[in-house]
Structure 1
Amino acid sequence: MKKFILLTLSFISLISIAQNPGNQSPQLKNNSAQQYSITGIVLDAETKQPLEYATIVCTPLNGKAITGGITDQNGKFDVQVAKGSYDISVEFISFKTKTFKNREIKEDLNLGTILLEINAESLNEVEIIAEKSTVEIRLDKKIYNVGKDMTVKGGTASDVLDNVPSVSVDVEGNVSLRGSENVRILVNGKPSGLVGLSGTDALRQLPADAIEKVEVITSPSARYDAEGTAGILNIILRKGKALGFNSSFTATAGNPDYFGASANLNYRTNKVNYFTNIGYNYNNSPGKSKSDVTYLNPINDAPKYISENTKYTRENNRFNSQFGVEYYINDKTSLTGTVLYRTSDGDDASTNTRQEFNASKSLLAKNYRLEDETEKDKTLEYTLNLTKDFKKEGHKLTVDFRYGKSNEDNKSNIFEEDDLGIVDENTIERSFTDETSEDVLLKADYVLPINENTQFEFGVNADLNNQTTDYLLEEFENNQYVNNTNFSNTLDFQQNVYSVYSQYGQKINKFSYLFGLRLENTDRTIKLIQTNEDFSENFTELFPTVNLGLEFSESENITLGYSRRLSRPRSFYLNPFETRTSKTYIRSGNIYLDPTYTNSFDFGYLKRWDKITLNSSIYYQHTINNIEWVESETLRDIDNVETLVILRSPINLSSQDRYGFEFTTNYTPLKWWKLTNSFNFFKSSTEGNYNNVSYDKEDTNWFTRLESRITLPGKIDWQTSGMYMGPSEGAFSKRDGIFSVNLAFSKDILNENGTLSLNVSDLLNSRKRTSSSYTNNTISKSEFQWRSRQILLNFTYRFNQNKKRERSRSFDSGGGEEEMFKA
């Protein structure tokens, strides 16, 4: 509480700085001032049809607040203004703007019939600009605009991230940045309930249509939380900014069973902007896996070989909604509030066929393990943002508040049966998991430009998290379910992170620098309810950042970044109670885990030619207290038989060095053909010892993507993308390479207001993880496929939106440095 009070006092000091007399807001207009009407009617010059929702902007020549309005369904408008001189413009998306210069208003004015002409040339220019700005380079981040990526139409945030250079998503949905899963995922620059309790599943629930762009921040400045040793992925959601009403609607159907619909709605007046995103989808995603285990020294009558094949069916109903209101208090101050509500109702079933063989490979036993699992997720989140721009350009104060509550309720029933369908009562069990999380975020950032090329920034942050996990395992004994106290447990996890930061930057000719320092205090408490044990930890760390940039020309620059970061173990890693995936394979956390700390260095080079753009980086990371999962063996009594059991748990495995290079090239050999290639190579060296066993290893890995986009006759767009992830090797495991191809076609219809697209994910049905691992007594080989080939048909209709303009429009919701610090 003392830390929070200190942060609050710091925030109050920010407000006092902000309220200096030289930057006071303009006085409110005198409501008694006489108003005059500006009227007229707006028509399409070619068809003579009225243009509904055309925008009328009245800009006073005395520099006061801009006013305006929109046309009705008959193309008519009536705008009220005070006496004075104005420039009046009439605008409509994809039409040429009509401007009436220096009109003096001292009585009502009728502009008559205004004819707007189609601006085809402007549209083409906008499209070209949008394609060139696919990658934006700044000192502390790279921004990838989602643009017209057809392969993610009807998809999810996981599909979008899987197409972003430097990012990879494995077959289970785990996200990696430059090969490391220690990545922090933000939404609009802040932690969000959209990521949820389990980020992998939550990203599969966020529709791709709601995403405008993704920021890849491999060398974060001090403004960002220090969490995430690999860096930060910041997902920016769409939010309309144009005056008037605009919307888009998307319907999707596919095979395996997939049905979905979403809508993005926006209505803005001069004072208020309303926006909402709503989406629903149903999908059934079948998957499969198989594994073969060889026991080198079987005990007693235990089998020599065990073969398992599993088939999965996953049915999910998902609903996402977000509603927001942005109120413009005046031309310098705005207040934005949003409400997010998300639900997911899943029913997963799996059938595992297990066969046991002796040394001569004669079948000893065969049984079936059936599991039915239901999961209900719910997230409710409220956010409030105050943005205050002062008189001087770039002088800004932003204050954010967020409260979120998430709940995951999981129920599972498991039993085994033989070939005759007779159930083994000793295998009947059921489990219940109830996980609830509450989060509060308080955040303030203050930016003060000292002069045109220099700025100072200061901010405070309090991120408060409280999570409870209640797990109950019951086994069937004597015709009733009995609590298995060896596995049932309740964990209370509370983690509060308080931080303060400052940074200073300057641009001197073509050289830019940004120095920052962030202080974070972590206060963590874990309570084990069953054993009545408490574990507390409190530590404070400093995290310096350095970002340098040098422009050789408008088309060539280099950047150099350094940051110190950490990765705090989540409750899943810390919970010491055991859970089991089978009776012979058990996982537990480690309550004594320490955070992982990383020093990262990044050197980037960007060069643009007429038809080719090259964006490349060399990077190095040194990590201490690196967390790795290790396996050990023990003997346990299972059904009155002494059985070998594998235990899996995380430990801080000493140190790791990672280094690599990456590049992305955009090449346009012909006007109708665009090629994009990205390549990432990295090598890691780990040193560590556990239970007198060396875990030293060196792993070389790489992945690459190639995307081709061709415009066919009839303005049909054809996109093909291929991905290959190279093989990987650990201390006691290795994984084979993974290859997949996606294919998509798209065609604009209905006067370009609609788009029909067809995409195929994993065309060759080859996206599978094949791996092997070994211990002193076992050799395991496995293959896993999360989802088979998927075919989706999408239809999007845009109302009062232009496709090309929508692609080129963007807004900055995640912070980042001011324009003067672009590299």
Structure 2
Amino acid sequence: MKTLRKYLPNSFSLFLLVCSLVCFPSWVMAQTIKLSGMVTDESRNPLDYANVVCLNGDSAYVGGGITDNFGRFSIELDTAIHSIRISKIGYVSRTFSKPFSTQFILATDNQLLKEVTVTGKASLIKQTETGLLYELHHNKYAKEQNLLQAMRFVPMLDVSPDGNLSVIGHDDYQIYLNGKRYDIAEANTTQTLQSFPAHLVKQIEVVTTEDSRFQSNGAVVINIITEKNLLDGFSLNTSANGTTQPTAKAGVSALGKKRNVDFSVSYNYDLNTQRKQPITQDYIYPDRIVNLDGEGDGDWHNHIMRGMLSWQLDTLNMIYADIHAKILKTDFKTLWEQTVDQENSRTSMFENRNHNTSGTIETNLIYRNYYRHLPQQERLTLGYRYTYNPDRRHYSQWWADDESTRQENHTRTDGGLHEHTANVTYAPIIWERCKTLVGAKAIWRLGNTTATNHSDISYRQQLIYPYVKFSGAVSGINYSLTLSGEYDYLSMKTPYAEEVKHTNSKFYFTPSLEVSRNVKGARISANYTRITKRPTIVMLNPFFSMGNGYAASTGNPYLKSEIQNLLSLSMFKFRKRFYYTVGIAYSHSNDAIVYHQVKDESNDVMVYTYDNMGKVTTVTGNLFFNWQPLTALVLKCSVNGGYYGLRYENNKQNDYTLNVFGWIDYYLPHSWRLGANVMHFKQAPEPNSTINAMTRYSLVVGKTWLKGRLTANIEVSTPFQKYVKMKVNTQTPDYSVRRINYMKARYVGINLSYTFNNGKRAKIQRDTSLKHNDLSSGVE
């Protein structure tokens, strides 16, 4: 303890000592020395049945043992030891001296392996203590591809024809490279992984439960393990994609390194359009029926720009800075023909035009300091983050009927949300089997909007977020416990409506706990999380805009934060080339923020708005399997769905959700690939509404050249169906609404990517540690 105490500030000493005694009472048993750790190879794969020998100062044997199936060992001794010698056939024996770490790494004995001949079919999937490991270097079909394409072989991972990476059954993931955060791949996944040849990758590790090696904060970790550390130099990747839908994508990214400075710049442009897309809506009242037939034309321009820089001052200090921007500019119009069926039927024409700007501008500045005796472990982190989210919506509308001349109306709202974040974390060393993190985060949000209809708002929000996190493993059980709180102070007012003026302050306790263990070859994990979901500036903005003659939308400045409790239980297992996972999840939200439709009697229109409707409960089951009967054949299927219940006032609404996805990929010689997928999905309906299920499918042909530097994919989507119909029916005692949106399903698309290399790629990482989970205010 005297050795460790010199690394801890005096103000933390008593607190940390109490925590360590409470959490780990075995410390008080001082008569026996207990030595434990994990033995792995250079790629962090556990080594089972390795010999562990304990030696005293005279190199005499005083105790020992062997590692279990997961590379772990635990030895109790009644005398002091000076060193540990670890050996295993096929690996270079190594002696470790004090101070001991929890990780012991053995290098492969290449000279010995030359004498070994491996016969039979190589096992592509291995189970690890916290997930699975895919042996990509054993897959001959992956070696001629780039890494993004090769990831389709990995269980739980999927890559769409246009290059979007996703983790089945999970919303969030982090990418690591050889055990270190590789955030540039998260920030610009498609182009970064396309520029990485798969033949340089040895293994891909997928970590689904808490692992002390990574600071994942609950996200799935994708750890890319290479044969060597090849990240030094320069590379340039270009890509383009187009479909007859019509859509278009293009991007360019550059990564480089000069001495102790790493940098990256990139730009992506996405264009989505719709041309003459049909829409029908029927509003049924006791005294009349209104029919609306529309055609939509529009363009959605998405610009994403990124710049990142990392400066390694010395071995213990680093400065990181970045700037990201994601700007979505929308320009679309809808032409409506409105027919009112009553005593005097009449027909009118409406045209709505929308010019909107949304998105994020984000910048981060972070200083990191590492322990001198543990240079891979962060000791102190100081950071500042700024984001700006614009809310600019400009509407224009003209209408005319048989009895009146053409009339026009123009409305708009302009404003945005500024967010400043300061963060400090300290990682004290308490016990080798317990990783501890103590920190605090302060967030200031300033939101202001102006509108032509005088629905301006001005609000300020302050968040104080202290937290402490413990993670590690005890008796074969991995755990992660976070104790955190959030103090929320909100002040809002509208200059033109004194009734919208209020101040709220509240404290939220937001703990989380995850435990997992291997039982008879299967991995079982349980998780509990309590989170807050806060309204965005678009939700709060009371700006009133008309969509057509009978529909409008507005925000709600009285929205409160939603409190959500999440509980899940899951198990995964694999046998040779078959992997599956099953699980069940329960969620319950108080003051749930729900987007719904209400009748505005004063304007005689239906208004979409946000409200804290009541309580939302979901019970969801999931099943996923990955089967590779042949190295060239990959079959995947994911089924997710269950109960959805909404309780508000004296009303109840019960429904279900369902998502079924199936994939098949077959790899041919000379780097050809044939693929097909099918999607069947049904989302949760709006209050008082029902919604139908929809089905889409596609066929893909792909080819790679030049060891993955040049790739091409051709996709044909739903060739025998022009549109998929989304039908929403709303029924209340006062009215009913029937809506049908025709979404284009049939298209042909082509995707191209090429990587130019000059030397080797540089190791630049985006840092997202200052991101807060209550509001998506940054570039995702």
TM-score over 0.5 for the pair: yes
Deviates more, 1:677-686 or 1:787-796: 787-796
Partner of 2:580: 614
Q: Choose the corresponding residue for 2:638, options 678, 681, 687.
A: 678
1:771-810 counterparts in 2 under 5 A? Answer: 771-800=728-757
CA–CA distance in structure 1, aligned partners of residues 209 and 447 of structure 2: 29
Q: Which amino acid aligns with 1:799?
A: F
Q: Secondary structure at the match of 2:511?
A: strand
User: In the alignment, is the contact (CA less than 8 A) between 1:11 and 1:444 conserved in 2?
Assistant: no
Partner of 1:385: 366
Partner of 1:446: 426
Distance 1:629 1:374, change over 3 A: closer
Q: 1:747: how far off? A: 0.7
Q: Secondary structure at the match of 2:406?
A: strand
Query: Where does structure 2 lack aligned partners over 5 or more consecutive residues?
Result: 1-7, 17-121, 133-146, 153-157, 177-182, 195-203, 771-780
Q: Secondary structure at the match of 2:539?
A: helix
Q: Secondary structure at the match of 1:573?
A: helix
Q: Choose the corresponding residue for 2:393, options 395, 400, 410.
A: 410
User: In the alignment, is the contact (CA less than 8 A) between 2:148 and 2:190 conserved in 1?
Assistant: no
CA–CA distance in structure 2, aligned partners of residues 234 and 431 of structure 1: 46
1:316-331 counterparts in 2 under 5 A? Answer: 316-331=300-315
User: In the alignment, is the contact (CA less than 8 A) between 1:187 and 1:234 conserved in 2?
Assistant: yes
Q: 1:502: how far off? A: 0.4
Give CA deviations for 1:627-657 in whole Å, capped at 9, x if unaligned. Answer: 33454445446xxxxxx43344443333333
Q: Choose the corresponding residue for 1:573, options 519, 530, 539.
A: 539
Partner of 1:92: none
Output the TM-score relative to the length of structure 2: 0.69
Distance 1:671 1:185, change over 3 A: closer
Q: Choose the corresponding residue for 2:611, options 651, 656, 665.
A: 651
1:109-128 counterparts in 2 under 5 A? Answer: none
Partner of 1:475: none
Q: 1:385: how far off? A: 2.3
CA–CA distance in structure 2, aligned partners of residues 349 and 185 of structure 1: 36
CA–CA distance in structure 2, aligned partners of residues 216 and 352 of structure 1: 51
CA–CA distance in structure 2, aligned partners of residues 311 and 414 of structure 1: 15
1:268 partnered with 2:257:
yes
Partner of 1:24: none
User: In the alignment, is the contact (CA less than 8 A) between 1:264 and 1:275 conserved in 2?
Assistant: yes
1:364 partnered with 2:345:
yes
CA–CA distance in structure 1, aligned partners of residues 301 and 553 of structure 2: 30
CA–CA distance in structure 2, aligned partners of residues 608 and 777 of structure 1: 55
Q: 1:296: how far off? A: 4.7
CA–CA distance in structure 2, aligned partners of residues 185 and 310 of structure 1: 40
Q: Choose the corresponding residue for 1:504, options 470, 482, 497.
A: 470
CA–CA distance in structure 2, aligned partners of residues 450 and 262 of structure 1: 46
Give CA deviations for 1:603-627 in whole Å, capped at 9, x if unaligned. Answer: 1212121011112221112322223
Q: 1:132: how far off? A: 7.4
Give CA deviations for 1:569-621 in whole Å, capped at 9, x if unaligned. Answer: 33333345544333433444444333222222111212121011112221112
1:622-771 counterparts in 2 under 5 A? Answer: 622-629=588-595, 631-633=597-599, 635-636=601-602, 644-689=604-649, 694-726=650-682, 732-761=688-717, 763=719, 764-771=721-728
Q: Which amino acid aligns with 2:519?
A: F
Give CA deviations for 1:11-65 in whole Å, capped at 9, x if unaligned. Answer: 99799x99xxxxxxxxxxxxxxxxxxxxxxxxxxxxxxxxxxxxxxxxxxxxxxx
User: In the alignment, is the contact (CA less than 8 A) between 1:236 and 1:814 conserved in 2?
Assistant: no
CA–CA distance in structure 2, aligned partners of residues 397 and 335 of structure 1: 12
Partner of 1:40: none
1:159-558 counterparts in 2 under 5 A? Answer: 160=165, 164-166=167-169, 208-209=190-191, 242-286=231-275, 288-298=277-287, 304-358=288-342, 364-377=345-358, 379-390=360-371, 391-392=373-374, 394-418=377-401, 424-426=405-407, 428-472=408-452, 487-532=453-498, 534-552=501-519, 556-558=522-524
CA–CA distance in structure 2, aligned partners of residues 11 and 442 of structure 1: 21
Deviates more, 1:442-451 or 1:326-335: 442-451
User: In the alignment, is the contact (CA less than 8 A) between 1:443 and 1:460 conserved in 2?
Assistant: yes
User: In the alignment, is the contact (CA less than 8 A) between 1:493 and 1:571 conserved in 2?
Assistant: no
Query: Where does structure 1 lack aligned partners over 5 or more consecutive residues?
Result: 1-9, 19-127, 139-143, 168-176, 178-183, 189-193, 195-202, 299-303, 473-486, 638-643, 817-823
Output the TM-score relative to the length of structure 1: 0.66
Distance 1:761 1:498, change over 3 A: farther
Q: Which amino acid aligns with 1:268?
A: K
Q: 1:437: how far off? A: 2.3
User: In the alignment, is the contact (CA less than 8 A) between 1:210 and 1:277 conserved in 2?
Assistant: no
Give CA deviations for 1:539-585 in whole Å, capped at 9, x if unaligned. Answer: 112112111111237x5311111122222233333345544333433
CA–CA distance in structure 1, aligned partners of residues 304 and 223 of structure 2: 16
Distance 1:652 1:439, change over 3 A: closer
Give CA deviations for 1:123-157 in whole Å, capped at 9, x if unaligned. Answer: xxxxx99987999749xxxxx989645963546xx
What's the RMSD between the two structures over aligned residues? 4.6
Deviates more, 1:661-670 or 1:777-786: 777-786
Q: 1:414: how far off? A: 0.9
User: In the alignment, is the contact (CA less than 8 A) between 2:148 and 2:159 conserved in 1?
Assistant: no
CA–CA distance in structure 1, aligned partners of residues 324 and 745 of structure 2: 31
Q: Which amino acid aligns with 2:441?
A: N
Q: Which amino acid aligns with 1:498?
A: I
User: In the alignment, is the contact (CA less than 8 A) between 1:153 and 1:209 conserved in 2?
Assistant: no
Q: 1:714: how far off? A: 3.5
User: In the alignment, is the contact (CA less than 8 A) between 2:310 and 2:765 conserved in 1?
Assistant: no
Q: Which amino acid aligns with 1:466?
A: L
Q: 1:814: how far off? A: 5.2
Identity of aligned residues (%): 15
Q: 1:815: how far off? A: 6.2
User: In the alignment, is the contact (CA less than 8 A) between 1:710 and 1:719 conserved in 2?
Assistant: yes
Distance 1:686 1:601, change over 3 A: same
Aligned residues: 617
Q: Secondary structure at the match of 1:654?
A: strand
